Amino acid sequence: MSSKLRVLVIDDSAYNREIICEFLGGHPDFTVVAKAEDGEQGLKLAAQLKPDLITLDIEMPRMDGFTFLRLLMSQMPTPVIVISSHSRKHEIFQALELGALDFVAKPERYLRPELASLKEEIIRKANAVRALQVVPFARRPARLPPMPDLAPPHKVTGKMPLQRLVVIGTSTGGPPALQSVFKAMPPGTPTAFLVAQHMPEKFTQAFAERLNRIAAVEVHEAVDGERVLAGSAYIAPGGSHMEVVFGREGLCIRLVRNVEIDRYVPSVDKLFQSVAQVRGYEVLAAVLTGMGADGALGLAPMKAAGCRIIAESEESAIVFGMPKEAILTQKVDEILPLERIIERMHAFSGSGFAIPLP
């Protein structure tokens, strides 16, 4: 990969194409090699130019973003960032299931403050592609197929006393990893699951609903003050940090709105640090794929509290940044590929008695 990332921009809106090209073309780390107005033209240009990164709209004529992704990932896997509107949340998650690396939500109106924020997010997420040099894109783990509209699995929530916590922190590449995790977790478990996934506001509820469709545990966006129950999973809301504290009824969720100086939202560090303060539960923590270092600061108090800590290995992490930083703290007990982490979580949470981990 050259010093400048070569980008192909695909969008049926001429205005959107120009805006994205202006953002990336005016930055020293990127060069826009071509523009396309639909997936069919984009696929031909991708084959000819072999860009380092593709930005992609979903709704386009002739060939939409979903068809484009299916063909691209089967023929020439390339990092893709979906750029689409807030109103198309479920379509964005389908694109992630089909292999897109990440997404950026377009603002409803292109006003100056919104454009500045959009530019910053596009550049930050585009730069995540540099981390893929460590883990080649072709080695990304297999994804689940797009989820059909099925009745949710039978769920048993709060029927057993809460004994254990599984705490997960992740960022880029997290949505497909979390789908694999929750598809494998057993029903009727004495375990609650707490998840901090870097994701913008307005998207975490739709993501939690999507996970809930395939999970045997009850998955929902966390609500401030609610009790943490066995057999439930709590997704930290975008725009807030999730913590756990003891309340009158037991372990409860506390949500804290982010402030401008917060680098990561929702924060894995803040979740981990709060879990380290509670006693009386066995805890298994996992740092999964993601760019940056969120989670590393929270490992020392967790380790001191006797929590078991796993980091995703370079072998399966889409972006090895967060797991690598966790490993460098020397607080990690095991470094495992995602498949093995899921096995550990299943063994840890799957019955009413403790299962020792190696």
pLDDT digits (tens, 9 = 90+) for 140-171: 444 444 444 444 556 767 678 999 999 999 99
- Please confirm, yes or no, whether 198 is among the known catalytic residues: yes
**What is the Cα–Cα distance from 17 to 214, expressed in whole angstroms?**
36
- Please confirm, yes or no, whether 38 is among the known catalytic residues: no
**What is the Cα–Cα distance from 267 to 332, expressed in whole angstroms?**
19
Which portions of the chain are predicted below pLDDT 70? Answer: 1-2, 86-87, 108-113, 133-154, 156, 158, 260-261, 351-358
Q: Are strands 334-336 and 308-312 parallel, antiparallel or unpaired?
A: parallel
Residues constituting the chain: 358
Q: What pLDDT, on a 0 to 100 scale, did the predictor assign at position 130?
A: 79
DSSP reduced 3-state for 224: coil
Please check whether the two domains, 5-133 and 164-349, share a CATH topology. yes
Q: What angle do CA 210, 349, 352 make, to 5 degrees?
A: 130
Strand partners, 197: 170
Provide the whole-model pTM: 0.87
Domain ranges of the chain: 5-133, 164-349
Q: What pLDDT, on a 0 to 100 scale, did the predictor assign at position 3?
A: 83
Spot the catalytic one: 52, 57, 198, 241. 198
Structure tokens at 331: 């607080």
**What is the Cα–Cα distance from 274 to 292, expressed in whole angstroms?**
20
Spot the catalytic one: 38, 64, 294, 349. 294
Structure tokens at 182: 């929750």
Q: Quick one: which of 66, 23, 19 has its CA closest to 42?
A: 66
- Please confirm, yes or no, whether 241 is among the known catalytic residues: no
Q: What pLDDT, on a 0 to 100 scale, did the predictor assign at position 135?
A: 42
Q: What pLDDT, on a 0 to 100 scale, did the predictor assign at position 109?
A: 63
Q: Quick one: which of 280, 282, 327 has its CA closest to 308?
A: 282
Q: What pLDDT, on a 0 to 100 scale, did the predictor assign at position 149?
A: 43
Q: What pLDDT, on a 0 to 100 scale, did the predictor assign at position 343?
A: 94
DSSP reduced 3-state for 304: helix
Architecture of domain 5-133: 3-Layer(aba) Sandwich (3.40)
Q: What pLDDT, on a 0 to 100 scale, did the predictor assign at position 9?
A: 97
Which CATH superfamily does the domain covering 164-349 fall into? Methylesterase CheB, C-terminal domain (3.40.50.180)
Spot the catalytic one: 52, 84, 102, 171. 171
